[in-house]
Structure 1
Amino acid sequence: MNLKALRSLAGCTATSGVLCLRFTCKSLNFTYRVRAFQAAVDYLKTLQRFTLSNVFLAGRSMGARAAAALGRQLCAAEEGAVRGLVCVSFPLHPPGQTHTHVKRSEDLRALSHVPVLFVSGTADNMCERKLLESVVEQMKSSSSVHWVEGGSHGLAVKGRTEESVLEEVNSRIMTWILEHV
C-alpha cells in the first residue's frame, strides 16, 4: 500500500477528482486476496456519506489478478457493477513458466462488458508480451495494453528515473479512466 507507485497513482487520481481506495493484503494466498478486495468494496457500499458509482478496480501484480477475479464475480452478479479494470504488471506467469498463462488468464477471458487496461513492461519476466497480446485477442471485453518500453515487472526502466516512469503510467491510467467514465 505504501509503494511509491501506489502513492503516486493515488495522488494523481485525487488531483483528477477521483476517489482512490488503496489497501494491501500481506497474504500471498490468492483466494484470501480476492476476499479482502471484496470486503473493501462491500465496506464502501455501506458508507452513507457517498454513493459508489463508476467503480474501477485496479491492482498491481497479484493485486491485478485479484481485481480481475473480483471484477468477474461482480459482473456476473450485476452487470454494470464495474466500469473498468486496470491491471498493472499483471503476472501472467511465474518467471520461466509461461505454460501457466492459461490458468492465470481465465478471469480475464471470462470478463464481459468490462473494459480492461493493462500496463506492463516490455522486459517483465512475469508477462511475456506475445502471451499477453494473445490473451487480449481472446478476451470478450474491450482491452488495451500500454507497454512501458524496457520496463521490468516493477516497471523499473534502465536509464529513466522512477518519477518519469510513474508520470507516464499515471497519465495513461487517468486518461483511460476518464475516457471510460
Structure 2
Amino acid sequence: MSIFGTTLNGSLCIPAFQLSSEKAIKVKVKIPFGNKYLDAIFSVPKKKLTYGVILTHGAGGDMNFRQLVSLAAYLVSRGILCLRFTCKGLNIAYRAKAYKAVVEYLKLSDDYKLSGVFLAGRSMGSRAAASVIRQLSQDSDGDFIQGLVCLSYPLHRPKLQSKLRDEDLLFIRCPVLFVSGSADEMCGKQLLEDVASKMKAPKKIHWIDKANHGMAVKGRTTDDIMEEINTQVFSWLRENIELEHK
C-alpha cells in the first residue's frame, strides 16, 4: 500500500518526513510529573504531523545539550515533530518514570495527534527510554511506540565491562538504532555487537569511527560529527516510517 494519501479535494497528501523546506515552530511547555513539572520544548513542523520523536539528555546537562538541539532541528526541518525535555537526577528508575510521564503527555495531547512516536535519548537518557519501552510493551500504549534511538548507549561503566546494562534491550521488540563511538569507554564495540545479536528486536548499529562517549573524534569538528549522527537517525526513522505504511 502506498504511504501517499489524498485529501478530500483529491490533492496529494505528502508524508511528514518529506517536508524539508518548512521552518519549525518552538513551543515551551511544562509537563506534569508527580507534584512538579518537567521543562520541555516542542519543535513543530508547520505541515500536518504524522510521527514524533522524544529526546532527552544523559546524566549531566539538560534538554539544551548541543547534540539534542542539533538533532531536533535536523528532524523537524524534515517534518518530524521533536519534543525535548529535561529531567535531572542520576536514578535510572526516576528518569524512566519521568520519561513515561512525557510519553503519556504527548499521547494524550489534543494539539499534537500523532500516529506514533520514537523514543530517543543520549547516554543515560537512552537507558531510560529503553526501560519505558519495556514497561509500555506490556500494555496498549506499546502500539504508540514505533522504535528506540540510543545515542551513546552506556552499556557498562568505564572499566567495568563485566556488568552489562542490557536487561531492557533484550526484552524490546520494536526497532532499535544504536549510534555509538567505536572508542566509547562505556560501550565496548564487541560487547554491544554481542548484545545486539541476542536481541529479538530489529536493530541497527552505526559506529562513529574513533568517537568516545561524548562523540568527540580527534581531527573532526563537532558539527561534522553531528551531521553524520543526524543523517543516520533520520534515514533510519524514514525507513521505519515507510515500513509502517506498507
Contact 1:8-1:166 within 8 A present in 2 as well: yes
- Choose which of 145, 151, 158 in structure 2 pairs with 1:82: 145
Aligned match of 1:31:
93
Runs of 4+ aligned structure 1 residues displaced above 4 Å come to none
Other structure's SS at 1:166 match: helix
Write the deviation string for residues 47-74 of structure 1: whole angstroms up to 9, x where unpaired.
2123132210001000000000101111
Aligned match of 2:32:
none
Other structure's SS at 1:50 match: coil
Distance 1:42 1:52 in 2: 12
Equivalent residue letter for 1:42: E
Aligned match of 2:217:
157
Aligned length: 178
| Structural RMSD (CA) | 0.9
Q: Does 1:63 align with 2:63?
A: no
Scaled by the length of structure 2, the TM-score of the pair is 0.71
In structure 2, runs of 5+ residues without a counterpart are 1-62, 242-246
Q: Among the aligned pairs, what percent are the same residue?
A: 49
Aligned match of 1:49:
111
- Relative contact order (alpha carbons < 8 A, sep ≥ 6): 1 or 2 greater? 1
- Bigger fraction of residues in helix: 1
| Greater radius of gyration (CA) | 2
Equivalent residue letter for 2:157: P
In structure 1, runs of 5+ residues without a counterpart are none
Other structure's SS at 1:94 match: coil
Aligned match of 1:105:
166
Q: Does 1:135 align with 2:198?
A: no
- Bigger fraction of residues in strand: 2
Distance 1:47 1:144 in 2: 31
